[in-house]
Amino acid sequence: MHVIQRAALAAALTALALVAGAQPGPNAAPPLNAPSSAPPIAPPTAPAASAVAPPSAGGQRVYDSARQRLVQVRTLLRQQDSQASVGSGFLVSDQGHFITNYHVVSTMALEPQRYRLVYSTDDGQRGVLQLLAVDVVNDLALLKAADPAPLAARGVMPFRPADQPLGRGERIFSLGNPLDVGFAVVEGAFNGMVERSFVPTIFFGGSLSSGMSGGPAVDDRGRVIGINVASRRDGEQVSFLVPAAPARALFEAHRNDAPVTQPMQGEIARQLLAHQQKLTDAFIALPWRQAGHARYAIPVPQEDFMRCWGGSTPPGSRGLEFERSDCAMDSRIYIDGSLQTGHFSVRHEAYDGRSLGALRFAERYSSSFQNEGFGQKTRQLTAPACRESEVKQAPDALPLRSVLCLRAYRKLPGLYDMSVLAATLDGRTVGAQGRFDAHGVSWDNALRLADHYLKGFAWQPNQPASR
């Protein structure tokens, strides 16, 4: 093990890339327009058949006004009718454009040579679908019927105007085909936006089931306010919707695109690189909170888009005592069934082993550091390539042992998972260890985040510099 200055961190990681067999990725593409900053886009003009339901309509009238514009979306193996996924969708143009979730059609987006898309309506109409575009960050996809003629007279689902925001508690209705048992309507309430979510998400007070993904959520006049996307399995009536704004933007930007015929990994990587740039900039702009330790400044993230939970050894415990904090983002970006990315997590443990003595503490402390895992080679990621070093910013700075690991995404060029593990080296019977994981970041941002995290460790001001 050897001591390196922080200025050498970038060089160490660059050498690491050669070991990993991965070169630094390209510069991030310009970010996509975020839903919160995108200008209002007028909904597509609808024929007379798309007239909204009367004010204060109940679930029956909402469903009756929408049923002709709802579809079930199925992903089938190209050579047979065996289905790989089932979801829902809704018409947004009389040229046969549909909105659904990206995760409903992800297998088709990634392997179009193996899969195909079809739709079916409540009254038995069936047809072939084409994939035009995806927005993986917001979990959206734009589809179009290969033959739009049979759908031309059905009308479209109108969007609620952007200048008419919903009020908390306002009644809304989710539409879709749950569990492949038939089209349904679920009543619930608008509960505002999900707090501490980096990607804007609506909190729907209602029950969403598998198969409803991609269906519309509408107000009591049948106007789309969001798209069904997910639910919490550990709670009741806690479900989530993608806001309507990015769905409108996707439709307007890509309605004239040619159908997708090649795997979309390159486009998906471009969108993820744009997202991680925004996420990294926002994360680094926030100052670290402190863990309240008497000896060390330990970096703890703000909870602007993370949730933190703490724990400690029970009162009266003997032996090694500790306090810990685990902070993680709730939001994940779905790529396929084995890969979710675009999120950070930070945790630490502060140890007090004065009752153990120096030798027993050193053994326990070292074992805790060595037991950390960084994953193995998978279909999605390379094996981790790691470098262990001692890092000291200045002669009187807090000495740290650190391990930095990178794993390259095998099919998403320019993206990496980065992990940095740090442990203080000064105390004979006390110490602190921390870990920061960033999933789906560029090469340059992996360097920035690792350096930012290690700089968060320091002596508390009231502690002498010399140990």
To the nearest whole percent, how much of the chain has pLDDT over 90? 75
The three-class DSSP label of residue 425 is coil
Write down all domains in the chain, each with its CATH number in brackets.
Answer: 3-30+268-459 (no CATH), 48-257 (2.40.10.120)
Tokens at 438, concatenated: 């960033």
Q: What is the pLDDT of residues 313-371, one digit of tens each?
A: 887 677 888 899 999 999 999 999 999 999 999 999 999 998 899 999 999 999 999 88
Place 54 in a pLDDT band, splitting at 50, 70 and 90. low
- Helices marked H in 304-432: 358-370
One-letter amino acid for residue 192 of the chain: G
Beta bridge partners of 382: none
In single-letter form, the type of residue at position 182 comes to G
The model's pTM is: 0.86
Q: Give the pLDDT confidence score for residue 44 in this predicted structure.
A: 36
Show the 3-state SS of 353-367. CCCCCHHHHHHHHHH
Residue 346 phi, psi (nearest 5): -140, 135
Average pLDDT over residues 389-408: 90
Residues sharing a CB contact under 8 Å with residue 451, sequence separation 6 or more, in sequence order: 6, 9, 10
In this structure, which amino acid lies at residue 301? P
**Distance between CA atoms of residues 360 and 123, nearest Å:** 72
User: How many C-beta atoms surround the C-beta of residue 259 within 10 A?
Assistant: 14
Instruction: Dump pLDDT digits (tens) for 92-143.
Output: 999 999 999 999 999 999 999 999 999 999 999 999 999 999 999 999 999 9
Task: Give mean pLDDT, residues 255-266.
Answer: 97
Identify the pLDDT of residue 234. Answer: 82
> What stretches of 210-354 show up as alpha helix (H) in DSSP?
244-254, 265-285
Burial of 19 (0-12, 13-18, 19+ CB in 10 A): exposed
**In this predicted structure, what is the pLDDT of residue 412?**
98
Are the C-beta atoms of residues 225 and 160 closer than 8 Å to each other? yes
Q: Give the tens place of pLDDT for each residue, 278-329.
A: 999 999 999 999 898 999 999 999 999 999 999 988 876 778 888 999 999 9
140-181 per-position pLDDT tens digit = 999 999 999 999 899 999 999 999 999 999 999 999 999 999
Look up residue 67 and give its DSSP letter: G
Residues with Cβ within 8 Å of 422's Cβ and at least 6 positions away in sequence, in order, are: 391, 400, 401, 402, 433, 434, 435, 453, 454, 457
